[in-house]
Every structure is written in C-alpha cells, then in structure tokens.
Amino acid sequence: MHKVDVVIGAFFGDEGKGKIIDYLSVKSDISVRCAGGNNAGHTIVFDGKKFAMHLIPSGIFSGAIAVIGNGVVIDPAVLLDEIKMLEDAGISIENLKISSKAHIILPYHKEYDLLEEEIRGENKIGTTKRGIGPTYSDKMSRFGIRVEDFISPKFYDLLKQNLENKNKLLALYNMKTLELDEVFEEYSQYAKILKPYVCDTVSLIHNALESNKKVVCEGAQATLLDIDFGTYPFVTSSNTTIGGILNGSSLNASNIGRVYGVIKAYSSRVGEGPYLTEINDATGDLIRELGHEYGTTTKRPRRCGWLDLVALKYAVRVNGFTDIAMNHLDTIGKLNEIKLCVGYCDENGIVTTDYTTNTDELSKMKPVYQTFEGNFDATGVRKFNKLPKNAKAYIKAIENFINVQVSIIGTGPDREDLIVRK
C-alpha cells in the first residue's frame, strides 16, 4: 500500500502550500483537503494563469480525485463559485468529492464571526470573517449541520431550530436577524447542485489505498494557527497540524509517509497575534513588495519578517516533518543581508531554542539572529548545484538547525520554478 504524503504549513499560513501540493498531486490519484474552510487561499499558477483556491483541493489541476474531507467547513456559495471558476477555465470538476460528514457554514455563522470580533474589541483576532470559528463551535456543541443533513429533507427543521436560536442573540446585539424562508430557499438550491458530489469519503479514501492508489493531503492554515499548538487565542478554530490531517480525512497514523513542512525563505502573518521575527521597518515593507505579500483571501497586507528557526523546530516536533519545502528563495536573494532567528532571549538574558505559545512569555522574548549574505539570483533555478553559494549557505544553516532536509525549493511562483532534491 502506498504511503500518504502530507503538506503542512509550518508558521502562520501562506507559505506556498498550494504550489507544493500541486507538484505532489501530479504523481497522485487522490488529493484531500482535511481542515479549515474558505479562510484558506492557496495560489496555483497553472498554464501561466493564477488561481486562488479556497476549498477545492489543489490536486484538481492535475486530474487527481479532489476530496473535501470531513474536517472541512464548507460555505456552499463559495464552493459553487469556485466550481464555476474552474469550469470557466476549462478545468474538469468531475473528480470533485465532498465528505458527507463535513459541516456547512450558514449565514448566521458569518454574522457571529463579525459579532464575536466586535465583542473582543481591542483583543480581536483579525479573522477572515468567513464564519469559520462559529461553524466549528456549532460542530463541537453539536448544533452543526453536516453535508449529509444539508442535502436531506432534515435540513429545514435543523435550520429552523438553529435560526430561531441564533436570531435571539443577533437581536440582542441589534444585528440584522435572518429570515428562515429566505435562507432555506437560497441554501436548498445550493444543496441540490452540490448533492451529486457528496459521498462517503472514508470508504473512498481507504478503498483507493487498498487498491494501491496514491493519496496526498493538503493542509490548510499552519502550525502556529492550530487551535491547540498555535498562539492561542490568535489562531484559527481547527487542528491545522498532523492530527487534524488524520481526523479531517479518516487516515490513520500508519498510512502516513512523507510529511512536508512548508516555509518561505522569510515569514509572514496576517491578522493579530505575536510574531517575534516581524520586521517593522523599510526591510519588512521591501519583503512585502518583493514577495507580493498581500492576502489571497482577504487582500490584507501581510506582516513580514525573518525566518524563525525556533518556531520551525517546534513545527518539526509537533508534525514530524520528514522534509521541508521552502518557497521564495528567489525573493530573499534580492536582499543584501538576510537574518535567521536561531534563538529566543528572555529578560534575564537566557537564550532558548524551545518555542512557547504562551503569549505573555513570548512578549518578553527577543529574537537572536545570525546574519547571512544575500544578493543572489535564484530566480527560476531548477537544479540545486546551480544555486549561488550564498543561497546554499543559507539552506545549509536551516538544515543543520532542524536536522531535516530542505527537499523542495521554490525559485518562483510558476509550477516549474522548483528544485527537487532526492
């Protein structure tokens, strides 16, 4: 039986997971999205055209069966838009499969997302406002509506019970309440269109594995946004790490093969929360411009900073990365000088390489940097031995620190701009 390869973001998201999963999917039969919803934005450059994928696994581009797993939360309107976008571009969505156990994002979840951010006031998270947190809350408190119920006659009664309750809170906060019949009419239309794609993805995935098919998993968000292992409360509402891959797909631990931790040669974060290696000066602005660091989903400017090896070591520990895929080597080479965070120093001058997600402790830490020479051109390079020596020295330092090979290196946004080391 083939082992399943997994792609997981190492930091705060937007590391370029879409591009790596697109590459791995070419040799795969099934590509599975396991968690999150349309808070994700995965960019694929296919046939010279840029696609921003929010829900459909990036493997759809290479003809793999694209599974939206049970751990995902689905906004049906967004999914239908995405289907249309692909069809308009001539990409077949015949291979799309939606887990009957995934949960549906409904209009009140989006209203609640706004309301909860307002309630948090100064401590807001800076969510994507897509209703992600409230949908996962409903799932856990067992008020959620699963895809299998959404496409069944049960939908009306479940929606009615939920809407009546949610409207009470919305009214209390003077927010617009929702009309049952209007929501039902709109969403039951969506359900009708999506029904043919729905199936038991647990059997689908395991039957495929047992027939020696190759499966890859597409992680969304990233390790430091994980509900348990991230910088809580500045996180998303799902397990974005290896555990979420298993729970969001029905794979078991012995199915897993290579685990690719995706990083950029620098780092970025969207939304609020601690970020030790953030650069708040012209160099940060320069990286943002060179790397085009604006949100794929919300278009917000991304906060930019240096690569943080303390956080990366933590991500290796939590996920068991067997390999690192590093994108944007071309971008970082455009700087004269590159810094790499190799330790955190506390107020007493004690340096640690153990990451903490405690936001109070983090606020007292200062990054310890090692400096490297930049000024190299890695753009479009496809062979490791063709890389300039400054680029190789930078990669070597990363590998030595975490003891994991940087096996895939991105040297540009295109599908072919990759170095793959054996």
Report which residue's Cβ sits closest to ligand GDP: 410
Closer to ligand GDP by Cβ: residue 18 or 284: 18
Q: 366: closest CA among 291, 248, 277, 280?
A: 277
Site for ligand GDP in 243-282 (CB under 6 A): none
Distance CA 249, CA 102 (A): 10
271 binds, among ligand GDP, ligand IMO, Mg ion, none (CB under 5 to 8 A by kind): ligand IMO
By beta-carbon proximity to ligand IMO, the closer residue of 36 and 374 is: 36
Residue of 6, 8, 10, 13 that binds ligand IMO (CB under 6 A): 13
Of residues 324-343, those binding ligand GDP (CB under 6 A): 327-328, 330-331
Q: What is the CA radius of gyration of the chain?
A: 21
> Does the active-site annotation cover 42?
yes
Question: What does the block give as tokens for 373?
Answer: 């020479």
Contacts 24+ apart (CB under 8 A), 236-239: 236/36, 236/39, 236/132, 236/133, 237/132, 237/133, 237/135, 237/136, 237/137, 238/35, 238/36, 238/71, 238/73, 238/132, 238/136, 239/35, 239/71
Among 133, 248, 261, 305, binds ligand IMO (CB under 6 A): 133
> Binder to ligand GDP among 10, 17, 69, 79 (CB under 6 A)?
17
Stretch that binds Mg ion, among 40-48, 241-249, 328-336, 374-382 (CB under 5 A): 40-48
Among the listed residues 264, 287, 356, the one whose alpha carbon sits nearest the alpha carbon of residue 317: 356
Active site residue 206: no
- Phi and psi for 266 in degrees, rounded to 5? -130, -155
The residue written with tokens 């617009």 in the block is: 176
| CB closer to ligand GDP, 186 vs 289 | 289
> Burial level of 92, CB count in 10 A (0-12/13-18/19+)?
exposed
Please give the Cα distance from 326 to 328 (Å, whole number). Answer: 7
Q: 3-state class of 421 per DSSP?
A: coil
CB of 117 to ligand IMO, least distance (A): 9
Residues 342-381 close enough to bind ligand IMO by CB under 6 A: none
Closest alpha carbon to 411 in 376, 374, 378, 373: 378
Stretch that binds ligand IMO, among 9-17, 171-179, 314-322, 376-384 (CB under 6 A): 9-17
Residue 8 interacting with ligand IMO (CB under 6 A): no
Distance of CA 81 to the CA centre of its chain: 20
Binding mask 215-234 for Mg ion (x = CB under 5 A): --------------------
Q: Does 284 bind ligand IMO (CB under 6 A)?
A: no
Q: Evaluate whether 238 touches 228 at the Cβ level (below 8 Å).
A: no
- In whole angstroms, what separates CA 336 from the centre of its chain? 30
335 binds ligand IMO (CB under 6 A): no
Binding flag, residue 68, ligand IMO (CB under 6 A): no
Give min distance, CB of 95 to Mg ion, in A: 23
Tell me how far, at minimum, the Cβ of 97 lies from ligand GDP, in Å. Answer: 21
* Smallest gap from residue 156 Cβ to ligand IMO (A): 28
Q: Which of 5, 29, 42, 330 is catalytic?
A: 42
CB of 76 to ligand GDP, least distance (A): 22
Residue of the chain from 10, 105, 125, 398 that contacts ligand IMO (CB under 6 A)? 125
Per-residue DSSP letters for 209-258? Answer: HHTT--EEEE--S-GGG-TTTSSTTSS-SS--SHHHHHHTTT--GGGEEE
When asked if residue 296 is in the footprint of Mg ion (CB under 5 A), the reply is: yes
The strand ranges marked E within 233-349 are 256-264, 267-269, 303-305, 307-308, 323-327, 337-345
Q: How far is the CB of 343 from ligand GDP (least distance, A)?
A: 26
Choose between 133 and 333: whose C-beta lies nearer to ligand IMO.
133
418 forms beta bridges with 410
- Binding residues for ligand IMO, rule: CB under 6 A, are 9, 12-14, 39-42, 125-128, 130, 132-133, 220-222, 225, 236-237, 270-271, 296
- Binding residues for ligand GDP, rule: CB under 6 A, are 9, 13-19, 41-43, 45, 292, 296, 327-328, 330-331, 410-413, 417
Catalytic residues: 14, 42
